[in-house]
Structure 1
Amino acid sequence: MVSEGACTTTTGTASELFTSAVNFFAAAQCLVPDSSPYNPYDKVPDLETFDFIVVGAGSAGSVVANRLSEVPYWNVLLLEAGAEPPIEAEIPWLYRTLVGTKYDWHYVTENNGIRHQALKNNAVTWIRGKTLGGTSSANAMIYVRGNDHDFQTWVDEGNPSWTPENARYYFRKAENFQDLELLKDPDIFNTYGREGPLVVNTFNSTVRELTKNILKSYNHVGIKEVLDVNAAKFQGQGFCAISRATARSGFRESTYRAYLDKARNRPNLKIITNAFVTKILLNDDGYDTKAYGVEVDINGKGHRYLVRKEVVVCGGVVNSPQLLMLSGIGPREHLLSKNIPCIVDLPGVGQNLHDHPYVPVPVYIDEPNTEDKTEQMFDAVKFLYNKTGYLAHAFLTDAIAFFSRCKSMSYPEFQSYSVIYKKNSTMRQFIDIYKDDVIKSLLRYNENQVLHLFVLNDLHPESRGGLYLKSSNAYDHPILNANYLGDERDLQAMVDAIKILTKVVQAPYFKSVNAFIPRINIPQCNKFRYPSDNYWRCYVTHMTASMAHQVGTAKMGPNPEDAVVNNFLKVHGVCGLRVMDASIMPFVTSGNTNAPAIMIGEMGSDMIKDEYLSY
């Protein structure tokens, strides 16, 4: 355990901000919830045997480690490749400062030379958290369960346990809903759990008047305002609301905070950070293949740990299929091409990759909103004093909308967020992924006007990509062929959605502030008339990026010809091995994927308990 008074680490950004705000808060880092280093690896001898080994302490893995170690006679080992999260991960507004640091996996898709040419390196950056809590420590904290239709499609794929009713049960098991005002509404009261470990609440927004006007504008075009997107039934053109968030008293509520902090002192749970699992150990006697342990690199030293019951892989959409393939589980020809013996031929490993692609839709408005350095410093002091101010909510505002092109649909096709850049903003979040000339074009009116950026994403893309090993070296990042917009239907869908947003911009509020959508300087698109369909098609082609909601690379389903795990998340053809994270989703859910990943961890943990504790 750390000595009293020790502090959370930092990437540097938070320290600079706080120092500029008030020098006498030199120990500002210590104001975050207490954090202690986990059991060092020298307390876990090589070849020690555990009942369960959990690989990855992310959105699902932290849940699994907590729930399995609730059984006092099960010894559980949790291995996390990253370190403890820094202070920037705890402060909602600073989460994007983790991009490109040691707390990020630095994943980038392949440049196909055709799309994404407005982005730096002509490729899409994927934000994936490499720390305790995984991407739940590095996301926008928006809490969206998804739509009943999503989980019914999983059932229709041959996964009978994943019904909408069961999904709701496990969402409620996780949740500790704390917005007391909203709980007065009977629908919301009956929707959310109130006794789980994960705090779900509402941000204390500093731009609430603006978000109210945004919701009114959605409402003007038939996207009706509701109290809560998780409690409301989707119908008509769609709905909008102030979103819920994984936030606790001004801080981020990651699965690290919600699940691991509550379990870390259990004597039957060992947690090792900076522990990169490079291989799953498999016994193959010609009849059965069984996982019996893992190889792991801890601070540059190799170790082996053994398992009695199961290895549970929770590495996420990239690391889980990569680890399976490095261990000899995957498409035979691909493994052999990398000099990896194929132990279990599973063609679906790494396939079915899909995501929520997004495009920014910039809108300039006349609002008396100027970024003031003194105000910014005062807000930093407010956060240090009582956990309020702009630092206490994510850079994305909490005004969100879900909508479809057809008014008779029972589930949404698109989701839209809003980001506000005050006049003379120095902030570059969400646009820093683009080339400098594109950023200049996006901000060219910002000196005199507020930039309101709609962040529009396609909830159900048709395009599918794949993930492939670059080599047999575990430290070589895999090749990420995301294939965004590879299906023509996705391109047209985004253009249609932009047209709906242009109608939102014609609502009375936006008219009252002289709103307009500017043309963006993209060389490939300058030949097209603005705002023609051809211009928007070109715009979408080159501006599309990732909402970091990747799923599907270890697909759940009954057929090992295309699926990787079965209904109970067991890897086809291997005993004692499961995958529990967003990679198992056959289809991505209608919204942010953090809540569904947590639900997967909850249900998967109970599946294990039901199997081993039922006799």
Structure 2
Amino acid sequence: MNELSYAYAAENAPHSWQYFVEHFDNRTQAVRDSKYAYTLSNGSYYVGVDPPAGSTPAGILYPRGGTLGGSSQVNAMNAAWAPDSEWDYIAELTGDDSWRHEEMRRHLMALENATYVRQGTPGHGHDGFLKVSNPPGTLQTIAEFPNVRSFFSEIIREVEGEFPNGTEDLARRLGRDLNRVDTDRYKPSAYAALTAIDPETASRSGIARHLNAVVAAGHPLTVSLHSLAQKIIFEEGKTGPKAVAIEYQKGEGLYSAGGQYNASQEGEVRAVRGKEIIISGGTFNTPQILKLSGIGPREELEALDIPVVMDLPAVGNFMQDNYETSVTIRAQEPWLNTSGPCTGTFDASDPCFVMWQTNATGPYVSAAYLLFNSRSSVSWNEESDLCFGSVPTGVKPGFWPGYSNLSSDPHYWSTSVIKMQTANPAGTVQLRSKDPRITPAINFHFFKQNADHDLTALSEAAELLFRGYDNTGIPYERVWPSPDVSLAQGIKDETFSHHATSSCRMGPQNATAAEACVDSKFRVKGVEALRIVDASVWPRVPGSFVNLPTFTMSTKAVEVILNKE
């Protein structure tokens, strides 16, 4: 599946929920983003920096998965494992050595089926539910298109300090396994575009397929679709409140982030009890569920007349994300020959979709994609703190209403620069209403903390890319960041994100309620029989992509829960 196909899945009902978030407190800075959306009187959206009179600010589109499997069903399926140092950080923070990278690799091996390496490769599993592969599109493209091959080679010279010795050497470098057992795997280098894609069907591999298989095999698992959790039910436990059940609404179109939302629709209220209640609502919805249930900052709950079960100020705070900024140029020569039958409609009228659906072939199977890491001057260790995803024909990364309909252009080249080592835990998720159908107010508070540090790294990344374009020798014009402002301001204006974490973050056993929500065993502080297992518990963003690390974390959680820790 290529970039266009997963973008389509992420923006269209019934697969996704569409949140609108804020990036800044400062309204003047917020609306400098060309992706900022406004709601018009007829219900449609305007996107841009010059909205018409009477329009209402909506914010920045932030699509999430609204189907079984959550965002793993609509994301780009990147399967990069977190740096070893990130796992060791959690172990040191919590005092729990079971989080060390050597132990966490055991969980990675249990969940993955690494189809791209030989059986018996150290550190990899082959019996898990998650198929990880290396689609062929990149190597095919560098062999066919010399301009693409030239830029890839120049970037490798910038990052690795030497020019590839021919196409075969370039292919070797682009085929490195970032997830291998190697203390140097996060040193500056190019590597393979590993994805959670089943190579036999060219379709995504993930938790949804696994859950369906578990049910089909007859195991006692109940999956309730079209269900909206609205609160946790508590009883008095031995040491305080004890979670005993989840109350939910059953019905379609209940949540306001969904494209099928109907405000007049009311679901049938049901409840299900359990020995333990495990919340996996994700970075936006887990704090919402907790707060609706009376767990969160006292002042916020009391302002909405929600009875306080546990005053836990860390809920909905400390959210963070990888900054992601686009470096886009338009060259005088095309990078690729993009003529072909694809219509981008992803239905029976689209020949490329039919090829993919019937025999897992064609342009939608994969795309040319250069992935590499680099180290800025402000990295806090010897590892890379910048990840680059570089795509020929990409016009403009990011999210806005209608982004999935954006056509490609062979003269454009776009690179998403992803900032690892996140240094701004200032994001918040706050209730707008005690109605569970209404989305929370989400503000990432971009560049509120350590702004100079992050802008320095992102600026150095852009400069690296411009050197690569310059040395390729093809005349081009800079599109993003805007050439009309300083480089740092242009980056600040257009930066976005889509790897939100840490809104119910993990901390040491002795952390206060203002510092952390859960301990290293996923247990909510001060509440019996309640755990959180999702990306909201990360103490900080684990590297460049949260998909595979979160799967790994959940596999660890299974062991913790079964062992009654």
Q: 8 Å contact 1:467–1:480 — kept in the other structure? A: yes
Offset of residue 287 of structure 1: 4.5
Quickly say closer, same or farther: Cα 1:349–1:264, change in 2 above 3 A: farther
Quote the residue 1:228 is aligned against.
177
SS of the aligned residue for 1:606 comes to helix
Offset of residue 104 of structure 1: 1.9
Quickly say closer, same or farther: Cα 1:473–1:597, change in 2 above 3 A: same
1:593-604 map, 5 Å: 593-604=546-557
Quickly say closer, same or farther: Cα 1:91–1:518, change in 2 above 3 A: closer
The correspondence for 1:497, drawn from 450, 461, 476, is: 461
Quote the residue 2:393 is aligned against.
421
AA in 1 matched with 2:36? K
Quickly say closer, same or farther: Cα 1:101–1:269, change in 2 above 3 A: same
Which whole-Å CA distance do the structure 2 matches of 1:253 and 1:435 have between them? 26
Q: Deviations over 1:182-202 (max 9, x none)?
A: 428x8xx11211111111111
TM-score, length-normalised on structure 2?
A: 0.80
Offset of residue 233 of structure 1: 3.9
AA in 2 matched with 1:324? L
1:440-589 map, 5 Å: 446=409, 450-463=411-424, 464-487=426-449, 488=451, 489-507=453-471, 510-511=472-473, 514-520=474-480, 526=484, 528=485, 535-546=486-497, 548-557=498-507, 558=509, 559=511, 560-589=513-542
Offset of residue 433 of structure 1: 2.8
Quote the residue 1:371 is aligned against.
338
1:290-301 map, 5 Å: 290-299=242-251, 300-301=266-267
TM-score, length-normalised on structure 1?
A: 0.74
Offset of residue 372 of structure 1: 2.2
Aligned length in residues: 490
Offset of residue 339 of structure 1: 1.0
Offset of residue 330 of structure 1: 0.6
Quote the residue 1:338 is aligned against.
304
Q: Which runs of 4+ in 1 moved over 6 A?
A: none
Quickly say closer, same or farther: Cα 1:235–1:569, change in 2 above 3 A: closer
SS of the aligned residue for 2:466 comes to helix
Offset of residue 541 of structure 1: 1.4
Quickly say closer, same or farther: Cα 1:269–1:461, change in 2 above 3 A: same
Which whole-Å CA distance do the structure 1 matches of 2:492 and 2:385 have between them? 18
CA RMSD of aligned residues (A): 2.9
AA in 1 matched with 2:33? Q
Offset of residue 129 of structure 1: 0.3
Quote the residue 2:118 is aligned against.
183
Which whole-Å CA distance do the structure 1 matches of 2:130 and 2:151 have between them? 29
State percent identity of aligned pairs. 20
Quickly say closer, same or farther: Cα 1:235–1:374, change in 2 above 3 A: closer
Q: 8 Å contact 2:393–2:412 — kept in the other structure? A: yes
Unaligned stretches of 5+ in structure 2? 38-48, 50-58, 162-172, 252-265, 344-349
AA in 1 matched with 2:132? V
Unaligned stretches of 5+ in structure 1? 1-89, 423-427, 529-534
Q: 8 Å contact 1:495–1:536 — kept in the other structure? A: yes
AA in 2 matched with 1:475? R
Offset of residue 294 of structure 1: 1.1
Offset of residue 171 of structure 1: 0.8
Quote the residue 1:156 is aligned against.
92
Q: 8 Å contact 2:352–2:363 — kept in the other structure? A: yes
Quote the residue 1:353 is aligned against.
319
1:82-481 map, 5 Å: 93-98=4-9, 99-110=11-22, 112=25, 113=27, 114-115=29-30, 117-121=33-37, 123-160=59-96, 161-179=98-116, 182-183=117-118, 189-205=121-137, 208-209=141-142, 213-223=150-160, 225=173, 227-231=176-180, 232-234=182-184, 238-248=188-198, 249=200, 250-284=202-236, 287-299=239-251, 300-365=266-331, 366-367=333-334, 369-374=336-341, 379-393=352-366, 397-406=368-377, 409-421=381-393, 430=397, 433=400, 446=409, 450-463=411-424, 464-481=426-443
Q: Deviations over 1:420-451 (max 9, x none)?
A: 228xxxxx673563999xx99x99xx5xx521
Which whole-Å CA distance do the structure 2 matches of 1:410 and 1:125 have between them? 35
AA in 1 matched with 2:81? R
Quote the residue 2:260 is aligned against.
none
Which whole-Å CA distance do the structure 1 matches of 2:185 and 2:470 have between them? 23
Offset of residue 218 of structure 1: 2.5
Which whole-Å CA distance do the structure 2 matches of 1:280 and 1:431 have between them? 35
Offset of residue 150 of structure 1: 0.7
Quickly say closer, same or farther: Cα 1:170–1:517, change in 2 above 3 A: farther
Q: 8 Å contact 2:158–2:468 — kept in the other structure? A: yes
Quickly say closer, same or farther: Cα 1:208–1:217, change in 2 above 3 A: same
